[in-house]
Structure formats: C-alpha cells, structure tokens
Amino acid sequence: MTLFDPEPVSEAPAPGPTERVRLVVAYDGAPFSGFARNDGVRTVGGDLTQAIGTVLGAPVELTCAGRTDKGVHALAQVVTFDAPVGTVDPARLTKSLNKLCGPAIAVWGATTVAPDFDARFSATARRYRYLVHNSPTPDPFTAGSAWHVDAPLALHAMVLACDAVIGEHDFAAFCRRPKRRDGQEASLVRRVTEATWTDDGGGRLRFEIEASSFCHQMVRSVVGTLVDVGRGRKRPGDVLGIIRSGDRDRAGDLAPPHGLTLWTVRYPGWSSDEGRGEWPSDPGPR
C-alpha cells in the first residue's frame, strides 16, 4: 500500500543514453517494512521507485547506501538511479517527490553525478546513531525514536565496553549470516572506526558507531549487548570474548529497530551530511 496510486509505468528499459542521479533522503521507518522493495508490503524503496517513475515517466532501478530494516529510520540515506538524459530537473524532481512521498519520506535534494558513482559500492563509511531513553518514566515525545529502558544503566561501563568493538573483527556473534547463491560462506569481517556513548541529558543516551560497512542487524545486536553491560548482566571485559567466540547466542538481544537511524554515508571527497538540507548538525531526537 502506498500513499498515492499513479498510473502503472512500463517495466521496459528506457532506450538511449542515460545519466546517473543521486538523492539524499530522510525517512521515518515506522510505516515501512524496510528499504528494499518487497511485493505485498510497503517499503521506502518501493514508494521512491514508484514516485520517481511517475515523475519521470520511465521506470528506474534504485541502489541505496544501506538497506535499513523494518522500522529503522534514516537522516541522510543516499540513493542512485539512472534516467534518460535530459529528463531530470533536480529541483523539480525534489519538489515532486516530496509532494508524493512526504511526510514519511523527505528528499533533501537531487543532483546528477559521474556515471561510475554508486550509492552502495562508492561509499567508504556509514554512520549510525541509536537513542536510548533511560528513565523510570516513558517519554511520549521520543517513543517512536528511542528505546525506553527503565532500569538504571551504568554509562561508564557501556563506554568502556565500546573499546572491544573498535577495530577489525569478525562480527559473526552480532550478525545474521547471509545466504549466498554460490554456496560460499560470506565474510562478516568489518572494520569499526568509532563506537561511543554520550549522555545528552534528560535520560537521553546516544550511541554512535561508524564502520566501512555493517552486517545485517549488527548495530542493533551491539547496542543490545552494550545495554546488557549497562544493566550489569555482562561485564565490559566480556564483549571481546563474545566477539572472538563468533557465537550469536552469547551476544545480547536485538535492540528495537525504532531507536536506530542511518545518520551519515561517506564517499571520497563528499558525505551525505553535505546534501541533507538546512537541519542543524544535531536536530534532536529522531
């Protein structure tokens, strides 16, 4: 189900030369079953694909920087697609997409880029932010964007536990192992360059993590494990052992998806921060 019901667009490829278009997109993940198109359910990619096809009068195929799961938000997701040369007016496309897709999806802007720019494979790093509302009392104003944990959390222990996450590791203990068509086992080795907790006051705890790329459900699993450390269920020193074990059963439960936001995607000479509009660097709870 979508917010609009345009005339169907032919699936035949557009003839002639094409140009590559890049979008920087924000969305509230609550109404969507993830980013990737999936017949029978509403997804961010499905809505965007349909809307772009409606505006351009030709079908497109989207590539995104990171396939967010059901309920996960994005502040500056990056999307690329190819369109027939001369059919894209970036300002008009942005305005039209926001009318068709808003308010759940917002397009910060559109621009044409080099043909070898790829939203996924050109990216050098992704940054995620996770919010925890740590208070005995729930907050209705952040209920859709932060995980409410009513038990007291030892923030110093959670900060200390982050040291084990930083660096290059096999994160099999924190990931769902993907299936590959060739029968080979996919590598779950990732390089994390930053992982940190910050107390923003008022019971709001902010976790930020940046890596070259992430495995499926990796951030939510890491957050769930670190919150277990804060609760006293695990010690900071246990986290490195969990990583080395490769045993998914030793990690904590998945943190709820609604606290997670894809915050920034980095590329050589550019990051999605630069294309995300006029919000300040920290617009507050999402």
Q: List Cα–Cα distances, 257 to 34, 135, 270, 278, in angstroms.
A: 10, 19, 28, 26
247 catalytic per annotation: no
Scanning 102-237, the segments in alpha helix (DSSP H) are: 155-165, 218-231
Run of H or E residues at 143: none
Beta strands, E only, the chain: 18-27, 63-64, 73-84, 105-113, 125-134, 147-149, 167-170, 189-201, 204-211, 260-267, 270-271
Q: How far is it, in rounded angstroms, from Cα 89 to Cα 98?
A: 14
Residues whose CB falls within 8 Å of the CB of residue 242, separated by 6 or more in sequence, listed in order: 173, 225, 250, 251
Whether residue 76 contacts residue 108, with contact meaning beta carbons closer than 8 Å, is answered with yes
Task: Determine phi and psi for 53, rounding to 5 degrees.
Answer: -60, -35
> What tokens does 256 get?
């709820």
Scanning 8-154, the segments in alpha helix (DSSP H) are: 44-56, 90-101
Task: Determine phi and psi for 140, rounding to 5 degrees.
Answer: -65, -20
Q: Which residue among 69, 170, 247, 273 is the active-site one?
A: 69
Provide the annotated active-site residues.
Answer: 69
